[in-house]
Amino acid sequence: MLHSSIRPRSAAAAAPAIAATARVYSSDEILVERIAAGDKLALQVLFARHRANLYRWLYRFVGNETVAEDLLSDVFFDVWQQAGRFEGRAAVSTWLLSIARFKALSARRRRTDAELDETIETTVADSADNPEIALQKKSRSELVRAALTKLSPDHREIIDLVYYHENSVEDCALILNIPAATVKTRMFYARKKLAELVQEA
Task: Please give the pLDDT value at position 74.
Answer: 93
Q: Whole domain around residue 49: which residue ranges? A: 15-113
Q: Domain containing 120 — which CATH number? A: 1.10.10.10
Count Cβ neighbours within 10 Å for each residue of 16-39 and write b for 16 or more, e otherwise: eebeebbeebeebeebbbbbbeeb
DSSP-derived 3-state class of residue 4: coil
**160 in Cβ contact with 56 (< 8 Å):** no
Whether residues 125 and 39 fall in one domain: no
pTM greater than 0.85 = no
Using CA atoms, how far apart are residues 117 and 107, in angstroms rounded to an integer?
Answer: 16
Structural domains of the chain, count: 2
pLDDT tens sequence across 110-161: 764 444 444 445 555 455 555 665 555 556 677 777 888 888 888 888 888 8
**Last residue in a domain, options 71, 90, 113:** 113
**104 in Cβ contact with 78 (< 8 Å):** no
What percent of the chain clears pLDDT 90, i.e. is strictly above it?
27
pLDDT tens sequence across 26-60: 589 999 999 999 999 999 999 999 999 999 999 98
Q: Domain containing 80 — which CATH number? A: 1.10.1740.10
Whether residues 122 and 196 fall in one domain: yes
